[in-house]
Amino acid sequence: MPIILTVDQRRSRRRPDRVPEAIARLQGVSPRRRFERTAGDEFQGVLDDPTTVVDTVLRLVRDGWWSVGVGIGPVEEPLPSSTRAGRGPGFLLAREAVEAAKRRPQRLAVRSPVRALAHDAEAMLTLLAAIVQRRSGAGWQAVDLLAHGLTIAQAAERLGVTRQAIGQRLGAALWQQEQEARPVAARLITRALDGEGDLPDDAPPGPTVRG
């Protein structure tokens, strides 16, 4: 089964249209079907790789402009060349997920045919999103340099600070915890993708927020 991401801009009536910018930044992602605007300030893409899903979701969460719905379910095959023309339960689940995301604190949700599996993946992604959303500018400086392949010593030299200062920034940014949790989130998405385990469909719903 593919993984459909449906992404809707938050408070779009009061903000500039950010969809073209977001799609351009996601050009490096390798989707099964490319990200396209679907309607209004919403866009959608079809992916296969859970690790790529985690990375893409967190990139969107970092922007702070989006509600992100992850739908995991079967689609009509063969997929059309345009994402907008896709049909099937997976697309409906992605629609359900993005609507649910609008009511959640971290503005993301996951839906799949087995609710408990979707809930597990959603819970881990939500924890990662909370880390990303609360990271300071100084923390992002250090994290981004390491993401581009620099060592702690090189990052310290680039920023003109000590290695200890970089270590403190990474600690405050919960960088190590993020690195450990990302593959866990990918594995939970894989379980939902495979429908692994005959789990009861009784997972509790996530918290909701107003506004």
How far is the C-alpha of 29 from the C-alpha of 46, rounded, in Å? Answer: 11
Residue 38 lies in a domain: yes
Those residues with Cβ within 8 angstroms of residue 66's Cβ, 6 or more apart along the chain or in another chain: 7, 8, 9, 10, 22, 60, 107
Q: What is the pLDDT of residues 70-93, one digit of tens each?
A: 999 999 999 998 888 999 999 999
Residues in the chain, pLDDT under 50: 197-211
How much is the pLDDT for 27? 83
Residue 28: give the domain boundaries.
3-114
Those residues with Cβ within 8 angstroms of residue 2's Cβ, 6 or more apart along the chain or in another chain: 32, 46, 47, 48, 75, 79, 90
Residue 77 lies in a domain: yes
Q: Which CATH number goes with the domain that contains 91? A: 3.30.70.270
Number of domains in the chain: 1
- Please state the pTM of the whole predicted model: 0.89
How much is the pLDDT for 196? 58
Residue 44 lies in a domain: yes
How much is the pLDDT for 189? 97
How much is the pLDDT for 126? 98
Residue 97 lies in a domain: yes
| Chain mean pLDDT for the chain | 91
Asked whether 61 and 68 are in contact (CB, 8 A), the reply is yes
Residue 207 lies in a domain: no
